[in-house]
């Protein structure tokens, strides 16, 4: 979809990748446009100042860097966690969850910059971005340079080099060690939840961003997962605690709806009425998902070994007033 407004400004979601770096001069040349970039700080392991400098060096007239760590954790990771939004392949959708957040900030900056269009570097998920932007602001054109250009990989590099663009990898820090080099002693991680929201780690109350970061550190040190290990552990803990406090038929229904919720996320329907309706059901299920799940983390593996909750189910009273411990073999 081409820009229709008189403005010749395009706001580009910029990660510093080859695709998004090449997109800056490509959009400027193809649409005779000024390109403004937006980079979100999501605690990624790259230097954001270097990313901003790369955007400006590639020809961006402005390069916005937005601290979205709290927003991402609070408004996207946590709702998906409470919903049990996991695909049948056990994907916890962290990458897919960044897209509605990126779309939100693209629209916000586009309005600030009086831009006619927004753009992104995704090819495989171009239709999802288009759907997200359309739900937020249908007046904006949505451009997907990687879907339009016909560069072979070598041609893409040649295009970049001909324009003096820096396309090497940005510095990143290591996140997860291999399981073989992980400590010989298992780690115990106690995650406390209140109505499905993680609120404390090993007895210490933490803001959600700090809690996720701490779990990430523990998971990484023990070789658990290379993609979103903290979110994977939190989903594992949440799922176990929910099973301990929720009648089996409701728990089964919640898991089925969790898969549906994941489908909406993957389809770019975060801002849809269907997703919002799903949150209403989630809120009703999560009322009693309060308590602590204990995980054992060791050599690339994790398992929930105990759940404790004042609402744990029992044969005598499904809603006891004192804590009941459920130990998993």
Query: Poorest-confidence range of 95-104, 155-164, 270-279?
Result: 155-164
Average pLDDT over residues 311-324: 53
d(CA 231, CA 262): 14
Kindly tell me if the per-residue pLDDT of 329 is higher than 80.
no
239 has pLDDT over 50: yes
| Run of H or E including 16 | none
- Given a cut of 50, whether residue 13 has pLDDT beyond it is yes
Q: Walk me through the domains of the chain, giving residue ranges and CATH numbers.
A: 9-162 (3.40.50.620), 179-246+288-327 (3.90.1260.10)
Share of the chain above pLDDT 70, in %: 88
What was the pLDDT predicted at 327? 45
pLDDT above 90: percentage of residues in the chain: 73
Q: What is the pTM of this model?
A: 0.89
Neighbouring CB atoms inside 10 A of 245's CB total 25
- pLDDT band for 299, please (50, 70, 90 cuts): confident
Compute the average pLDDT of residues 70-76: 97
Helices (H), the chain: 18-31, 48-57, 69-72, 78-83, 94-113, 126-136, 145-148, 153-162, 208-221, 229-245, 248-266, 273-286
Q: Please state which of the ranges 56-60, 155-159, 234-238, 284-288 shows the lowest mean pLDDT.
A: 155-159
Residues 30-34 have a mean pLDDT of: 96
Least confident of 66-80, 127-141, 147-161, 180-194: 180-194
Instruction: Give me the half-sphere count of Cα atoms (radius 13 Å) on the Cβ side of residue 200.
Output: 14
Nearest Cα to Cα of residue 234 among 219, 245, 256: 219
Give the pLDDT score at 205. Answer: 98
Which is more confidently placed, 142 or 299?
A: 142
Confidence of residue 45 (pLDDT cuts 50, 70, 90): low
Query: Which has the minimum average pLDDT: 134-138, 163-167, 225-229?
Result: 225-229
pLDDT tens, residue by residue, 253-296: 999 999 999 999 999 999 999 999 999 999 999 999 999 999 99
């Amino acid at each position: 979809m081409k820009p229709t407004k008189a403005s010749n400004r395009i706001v580009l979601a910029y990660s510093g990748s080859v695709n998004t770096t090449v997109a800056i001069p490509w959009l400027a040349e193809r649409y005779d446009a000024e390109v403004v970039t937006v980079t979100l700080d999501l605690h990624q392991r790259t230097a954001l100042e270097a990313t901003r400098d790369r955007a400006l060096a590639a020809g961006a007239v402005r390069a916005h860097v937005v601290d979205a760590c709290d927003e991402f954790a609070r408004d996207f990771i946590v709702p998906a966690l409470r919903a049990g939004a996991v695909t049948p392949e056990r994907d916890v959708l962290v990458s897919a969850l960044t897209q509605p957040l990126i779309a939100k900030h693209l629209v916000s900056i586009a309005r600030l910059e009086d831009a006619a269009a927004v753009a992104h570097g995704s090819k495989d998920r171009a239709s999802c971005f288009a759907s997200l932007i359309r739900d937020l602001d249908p007046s904006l054109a949505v451009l997907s340079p990687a879907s339009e250009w016909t560069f072979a990989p070598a041609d893409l590099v040649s295009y970049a080099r001909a324009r003096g663009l820096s396309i090497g990898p940005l510095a990143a820090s290591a996140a997860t060690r291999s399981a073989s080099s992980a400590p010989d002693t298992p780690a115990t991680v106690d995650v406390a939840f209140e109505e499905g929201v993680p609120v404390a780690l090993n007895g210490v109350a933490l803001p959600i961003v700090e809690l996720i970061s701490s779990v990430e550190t523990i998971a990484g040190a023990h070789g658990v997962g290379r993609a979103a290990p903290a979110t994977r552990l939190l989903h594992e803990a949440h799922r176990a605690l929910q099973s301990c406090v929720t009648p089996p038929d409701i728990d089964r229904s919640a898991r089925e709806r969790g898969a549906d919720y994941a489908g909406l996320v993957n389809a770019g329907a975060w801002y849809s009425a269907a997703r919002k309706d799903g949150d209403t059901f989630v809120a009703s299920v999560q009322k009693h998902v309060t308590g602590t799940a204990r995980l054992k983390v060791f050599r690339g593996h994790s398992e929930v070994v105990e759940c404790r909750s004042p609402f744990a189910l029992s044969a005598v009273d499904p809603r006891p007033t004192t804590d009941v411990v459920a130990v998993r073999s």
